[in-house]
Chains A and B, each alone.
Chain A
Amino acid sequence: MTVSLAGGKEEVRDLVSDLTAHSRRKGLGWRVKGLTLKRQCERRFAEGISADVQNADVVISLGCGVGAQSMSETFPERRIIPGINTSNMGAPEKKGVFKEKCMGCGRCTIDRTAGICTLARCAKGLQNGPCGGSVDGKCELYPEIDCAWHQVYTILEAKGELSEAVEPVPPKDWSRSHSGGVRTVRSKE
């Protein structure tokens, strides 16, 4: 995947040159080869690089956590090292900057909160409104992050729908989130 600019052709090339330089400096004798494939998470693409993987002692995956796991499943005899700390489902704000938007809770309710997910975008995942630390639209944790509830409030106010924000939202059903165990998605035929 190259969308996030974390593991595309350029990033692979940079990593190969860094590792080669490190090996040379320390006299480690590493032979480093860079490869890119369309999607690591699909076996048929991963199998296309089978010969190279079989010849390697170690494979560093610059795919996301899903891609790195698929590589491990496709090549169980090889050691696959994750080269990326996969963190969130975000949208690009500008080139190379992604902000988290969704946490995959399995029961989407953003229609109730002006299209903003406060579970993913509030540091405390609050479901009924801001905490006392929301000041001037900013999160008390990170001044560069907007308070999700302040954003909700601003939109609802403009729409004249603030009264809806008073109604208490009862405890969430987390059974379709990761709390309910490993999930499988099956598309309808």
Chain B
Amino acid sequence: MEGTSILKEKLSRGEFIVTAEIAPPKSASADDFIARAEKMRGFADAYNVTDNQTAMVRLSSLAGSVMCLRMGMEPIMQIVCRDRNRIAMQSDILGAHALGVRNVLCISGDHQSFGNQPDAKNVFDVDSTQQIMIFRKMTDEGRLWGGDEIMNPPKLCIGAATNPFGTPMGMHMLRTMNKLAAGAEFFQTQAVFDLDRFDEWMEGIRKQGIHKKAGIIVGILPLRTVRAARFMMNNVPGTCVPDTVLKRLTSAADSSAEGLRIAAETIEHVSSQEGVAGIHIMPINWHASVGQLVNMTGLGPSP
């Protein structure tokens, strides 16, 4: 088996990491996925391919990850616990690894009531911590969760999600420690807009020594309009966009240019914090913003 995770190598070398998020389209054509990925190609070290995010049916994260590989882009395949039991998850991991996928992000998944199939039955056979435990066993012991030996085990770099703005902070910090204890190698955070609250959270991360055991990759979401900001606050639980950001977006002559400036300032702020391993850009539908932000902040991926 060839190929190791570039993400894992960079994490272990302590190099600053840039990841970006690709949301697969509601399409059965590879062209539609490739068109999105193409706009971000070359700007990040690795690309998260989301798994039916916000419970909207889209092209699968496994297929999208493989298309990334064909384009020379390292994927981070997201797998939610909402849609698959442990049998399907492990099977998908074997298949994905066989096709070249080396990174996986374990997440619970947004509840189906938020999506376009609200009548669906959810699975939640395992939660994201247990998903990490299963993938760790496959990677570290070369065994399936049930105990069977894997002929050629996968070598995965396993990540998890964390929300710096969940309250109370102590409870969400415990959950992060729980995922770390299960074996998460990196964390990708929800989008950061409130720098003061982020700093407070990061202090908690350092106090617990979490950043020394796992890479903290901080979520950046460029806001194009004040409407987008309000939408985030109303629809993404736990998102907090401070008034100063809302005011800047409202009074700017060109709100998308201002949104980019705010995101670039956020990147500069978080990357100066001790223990931050990288940033994770979530462009939503503003794909060109990934390249613009990377260029503005001088964070191009190292060759």
Contact = CB atoms under 8 A, between A and B. Distances in A.
Interface of A: 123-136, 140-141, 149-150, 153, 157, 162, 165-172, 174
Contact of B178 (A125, A129, A174): A129
A168 B190 contact: no
B156 interface: no
B122 A124 contact: yes
A162 B174 contact: yes
A140 B190 CA distance: 15
Nearest to A152: B171
A100 to B, nearest CB: 15
A155 to B, nearest CB: 12
B56 interface: no
B111 A123 contact: yes
A132 B174 contact: no
Residue from A123, A129, A165, A167 having most chain B Cβ neighbours under 10 A: A129
Interface in B259-289: none
A127 B178 contact: no
B166 A171 contact: no
Contact of B133 (A123, A168, A174): A168
B178 A171 contact: no
26 contacts: A124-B122, A124-B127, A127-B127, A128-B128, A129-B129, A132-B108, A132-B161, A132-B172, A132-B238, A133-B166, A133-B237, A134-B166, A135-B167, A140-B111, A140-B237, A141-B111, A150-B171, A153-B168, A162-B174, A166-B178, A168-B179, A169-B129, A170-B130, A171-B125, A171-B130, A171-B134
Given A131-B108, A168-B129, A171-B145, A136 B178 contact: no
B111 A165 contact: no
B181 A168 contact: yes
B163 A132 contact: yes
Nearest to B176: A129
Contacts of B179: 128, 168
A130 B171 contact: yes
A58 to B, nearest CB: 28
B174 A165 contact: yes
B91 to A, nearest CB: 15
B213 interface: no
Contacts of A170: 130, 133
B126 A171 contact: yes
Contacts of A157: 170
Residue from A131, A166, A170 having most chain B Cβ neighbours under 10 A: A131
A128 B181 CA distance: 11
Interface in B106-123: 108-109, 111, 113, 122
Contacts of B182: 128, 168
Given A132-B238, A168-B133, A124 B167 contact: no
A165 B178 contact: yes
B156 to A, nearest CB: 17
